[in-house]
Amino acid sequence: MIDKRYIELMNKELDGVNTPDESAALRSFLSSSEEARQTYDELRGMAGMFAAAGEVTPPRAMKRAIMAAIAEREALRGARRAEHWRFLDVLTPRKKIACSFAAGAAFGLVALIIVLSAMPQMSELDRKDLYGTLAGRRSSESVIASESIPIDAADISGRVTAQYGDNSLTVAIDLDAPQEIEVVLSPAGRLPVESFSAPSCGDYDVRTETGGVVFRAASGCNFTVTFGDEAGAHPSVNIAVSAGGVRIFEQTIVRGRI
């Protein structure tokens, strides 16, 4: 059997594209192999036959048959695509527009979820970061005051910050705890809970009560609660922290008294 490399050199030689070194290598190989010389002679004879035949014009009937086969195949593809969307034919133009809008909205929602999941989450809470950032849907209202107190009890540490807006009270808590904790927030005046966020917490349980929030987590983390204060009363807020069923910290934040 002749190596494929030499078959390629034979074809290139007949096409006139071999380099001088390739032609020399082919001649050396042909001189050492009778089978190679016979194969080369056969290839050269076939090339001569094609060259002598020149260009051949196919019959018109063949051309028409080929073009008809192509058209039939394209028509079949179009029919299959139409079959996939035939269910839309029963819809009115308005409903078709509604379906298109719904499909676009679904695609946009998936894209938004992907983008949000890739965004970094806030892992540390600092008083300087509170202004204008933790008021939930009230983020555009002005901040009137911000009070902050440390938490340092047993093996639990952290900080509580209360941010007073025109018509809201936002309480942000950052806790470092190696065990299960429970936090109870109780603002004076029984303010309604408007929003809750715990972006850095794992498994947790939160319960809103009239005028307060009870939060439980397996360990410490950051979370934020926004209360509505439509009257602008800016009330005090009591914070109680328990660990293992034992209350270890309790204090009340009063605007202007920290």
- What is the per-residue pLDDT for 27? 92
Banded pLDDT at 95 (limits 50, 70, 90): low
* Domains of the chain from N-terminus onward: 4-53 (no CATH), 60-117 (no CATH), 127-253 (2.60.40.3400)
Please, are residues 165 and 144 in contact by the beta-carbon 8 Å criterion?
yes
Residue of 67, 17, 8, 73 lying closest to 36 (CA atoms): 8
Helix (H) or strand (E) holding 151: strand 143-153
pLDDT, tens digit, 9 for 90 and up, residues 116-152: 555 544 333 333 333 334 434 455 567 888 888 899 8
Mean pLDDT of the chain: 77
Give, in order, the Cα–Cα distances in Å from 233 to each of 141, 144, 145, 166.
15, 12, 13, 9
DSSP 27: H
Predicted pLDDT at 29 = 92
